[in-house]
C-alpha cells in the first residue's frame, strides 16, 4: 500500500485490523504490527510465546491440574474429572504443536536480529527500535491469514531485512499488506500495489518499479488525451463566442454549446501529482580548516566495560561523505558518539573544531521527543530565543507540515 506521507495509509490499516469496516469478514484472522512493544519486565521470548493465547491458557491449566498440593482433599469423582480434563488438555496441546512453539519463537527472534543470550532479557532493556523488532516477531509467530506491516524495515539491519524478505516469501497461505517507502524491499516481495491518492484506492499488478513505469505511461496517455479534449473544447468555444449572436448560426452555436457541456462531463480525469519535498542543506558560513573532526589512534568504549574498538583513525572534513556499515553491536553508533564527544576515549586523541556545528538524526530519534508536543512546541523549546517564531512555521512547511498539522 503506497502513497505520500499523511495521506491515510496507517489510518486505513488501523480500521481494517480494528474491524471497523462494514462487511469485512469476521472469520479472517487479521493482525497488525503495533508501533513497538511496551517496555516492561517480561522477557523477549515470553512476549512472543504469550501471543499464542490458547497455548498460554492450556499450559497454565495443565500446571494447575498437575498441582498435587490439595490432592488428599479431593474426592474420587473430582480426581477422575481432573484426569479426563488433563487428557483433553494434553491432546489439544499435542494438536496445536505446543512443544514446537518455543523453537519457532527462537527461530523468528534470531531472524530479526536477537542473540540467543538476549532471549531472557526484559523488554525494558531494549531501545524503541529493538522493541519494534519484538512487535514484528510477535505477529510473525501468530501466522495470521492477513498480516499487516506498517513500515517494518525502519529498524532492521541488512541481515534482518533479508531474513524478513525470505520469511514473507515463504508464507504461502497468508496475505501480506505492507506500508513502506523502501523501494528495494517492495520490489523483492510484492506482486500487487494499492495506490492511495485523493481518497481513492487504485489497484495495480506487479512490484513497485513496475507500478512506477505503468503509472507513468498511463499518466502520459491521460495528459495527452486531456490536452486534446481541452484543445477541441477551446476551438468549439471560439466558434460559439463568434457566432452565438448571429441569427443564421444561432442553432448551430447552441448545438456546439451542448456538445461542449457533454464533453466536459466525460472529460479525461486530471492527473494528480504528489507534491515534492525538497531538502535544502544550507551552505556553511565560514570555511573550517581540515580536519573538522578527528579520531587518532583512539580506543573507544563505555565506562566500566571492555573497549569495543581499538586504534581508530577517522578524519572528517567539509567534503566528507561516509557510510558506516556493519552488523548490530559492531560499534557504528559508538564511533559517532566518540566523534561528537558524547563518550570519553580510553586512549588516543579527539579533535573537534570550535566553530563546527553538527546536526544528528538517529534511528531512535522519537525516544528523545515528548510526543504529546506539537512540532512548533518542539522547535520553540529547542531555540527559545529565536525570533520571529513564524520562521519555524515556514521551515516546517517546507517539510510538508502546514496548517493544523
How many whole angstroms separate alpha carbon 375 and alpha carbon 183?
28
pLDDT of residue 34: 64
Domain match, 138 and 27 both:
yes
For residue 22, the model assigns a pLDDT of 87
Residue 296 confidence (pLDDT) = 94
Average confidence (pLDDT) over 173-177: 88
Residues 167, 311, single domain; the answer is: no
Q: What is the SS3 assignment for 72?
A: helix
Domain co-membership, 342 together with 393 = no
Separation of alpha carbons 296 and 78, rounded Å: 76
Q: Does 122 reside within a domain? A: yes
Place 128 in a pLDDT band, splitting at 50, 70 and 90.
low
Q: Please report whether residue 360 resides in a domain.
A: no
Q: Are residues 148 and 247 in the same domain?
A: no
Q: Give the pLDDT confidence score for residue 70 in this predicted structure.
A: 59
Mean predicted lDDT score pLDDT of the chain: 84
Domain co-membership, 183 together with 325? no
Please indicate, yes or no, if residue 85 is contained in any of the structural domains: no
- Which of 206, 229, 246 marks a domain boundary? 206
pLDDT at 190: 92
* Domain stop point among 226, 246, 265: 265
Q: Are residues 299 and 261 in the same domain?
A: no
Number of domains in the chain: 4
Write out the three cell numbers for 33.
Answer: 504490527
| Cis peptide, bond prior to residue 81, ω within 30 of zero | no
Q: Are residues 130 and 230 in the same domain?
A: no
Distance CA 189, CA 213 (A): 18
Q: Which CATH number does the domain housing residue 130 bear?
A: 3.40.50.300
31 in a domain, yes or no? yes
- Residue 213: band (very low, low, confident or very high) from pLDDT cuts 50, 70, 90: very high
Q: pLDDT of 301-342, one tens digit each?
A: 888 888 889 999 999 888 888 888 877 667 888 899 999 998
25 falls within a domain: yes
| Same domain? 335 vs 387 | no
Residues 160 and 45 in one domain: yes
Prediction pTM value? 0.66
Parent domain of 255: 210-265
Amino acid at each position: 500500500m503506497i502513497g505520500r506521507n499523511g495521506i491515510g495509509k496507517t489510518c486505513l490499516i488501523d480500521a481494517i485490523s480494528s474491524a471497523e469496516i462494514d462487511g469485512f469478514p469476521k472469520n479472517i484472522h487479521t493482525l497488525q504490527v503495533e508501533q513497538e512493544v511496551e517496555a516492561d519486565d517480561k522477557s523477549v521470548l515470553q512476549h512472543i510465546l504469550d501471543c499464542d493465547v490458547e497455548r498460554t491458557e492450556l499450559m497454565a491449566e495443565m500446571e494447575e491440574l498437575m498441582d498435587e498440593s490439595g490432592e488428599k482433599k479431593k474426592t474420587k469423582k473430582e480426581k477422575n474429572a481432573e484426569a479426563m480434563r488433563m487428557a483433553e488438555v494434553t491432546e489439544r496441546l499435542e494438536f496445536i504443536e505446543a512443544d514446537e512453539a518455543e523453537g519457532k519463537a527462537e527461530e523468528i527472534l534470531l531472524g530479526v536480529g536477537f542473540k540467543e543470550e538476549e532471549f531472557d532479557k526484559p523488554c525494558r532493556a531494549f531501545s524503541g527500535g529493538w522493541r519494534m523488532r519484538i512487535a514484528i516477531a510477535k505477529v510473525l509467530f501468530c501466522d495470521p491469514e492477513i498480516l499487516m506491516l506498517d513500515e517494518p524495515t525502519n529498524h532492521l539491519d541488512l541481515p534482518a531485512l533479508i531474513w524478513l524478505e525470505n520469511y514473507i516469501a515463504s508464507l504461502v497461505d497468508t496475505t501480506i499488506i505492507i506500508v513502506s517507502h523502501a523501494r528495494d524491499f517492495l520490489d523483492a516481495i510484492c506482486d500487487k500495489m494499492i495506490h492511495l491518492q485523493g481518497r481513492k484506492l487504485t489497484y495495480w499488478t506487479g512490484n513497485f518499479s513496475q507500478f512506477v513505469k505503468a503509472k507513468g505511461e498511463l499518466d502520459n496517455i491521460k495528459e495527452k488525451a486531456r490536452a486534446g479534449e481541452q484543445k477541441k473544447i477551446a476551438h468549439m468555444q471560439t466558434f460559439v463566442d463568434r457566432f452565438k449572436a448571429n441569427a443564421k448560426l444561432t442553432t448551430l452555436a447552441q448545438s456546439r454549446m451542448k456538445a461542449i457541456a457533454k464533453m466536459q462531463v466525460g472529460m479525461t480525469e486530471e492527473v494528480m501529482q504528489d507534491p515534492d519535498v525538497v531538502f535544502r542543506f544550507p551552505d556553511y558560513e565560514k570555511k573550517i580548516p581540515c580536519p573538522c573532526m578527528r579520531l587518532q589512534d583512539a580506543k573507544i568504549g563505555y565506562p566500566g566495560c571492555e573497549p569495543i574498538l581499538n586504534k581508530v583513525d577517522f578524519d572528517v572534513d567539509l567534503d566528507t561523505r561516509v557510510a558506516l556499515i556493519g552488523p548490530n553491536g559492531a560499534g557504528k553508533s559508538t564511533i559517532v558518539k566518540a566523534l561528537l564527544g558524547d563518550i570519553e576515549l580510553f586512549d588516543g586523541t579527539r579533535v573537534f573544531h570550535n566553530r563546527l556545528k553538527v546536526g544528528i538524526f538517529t534511528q531512535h530519534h522519537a525516544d528523545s521527543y515528548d510526543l504529546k508536543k506539537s512540532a512548533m512546541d518542539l522547535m520553540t523549546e529547542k531555540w527559545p530565543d529565536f525570533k520571529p517564531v513564524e520562521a519555524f512555521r515556514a521551515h516546517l512547511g517546507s517539510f510538508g507540515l502546514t496548517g493544523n498539522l
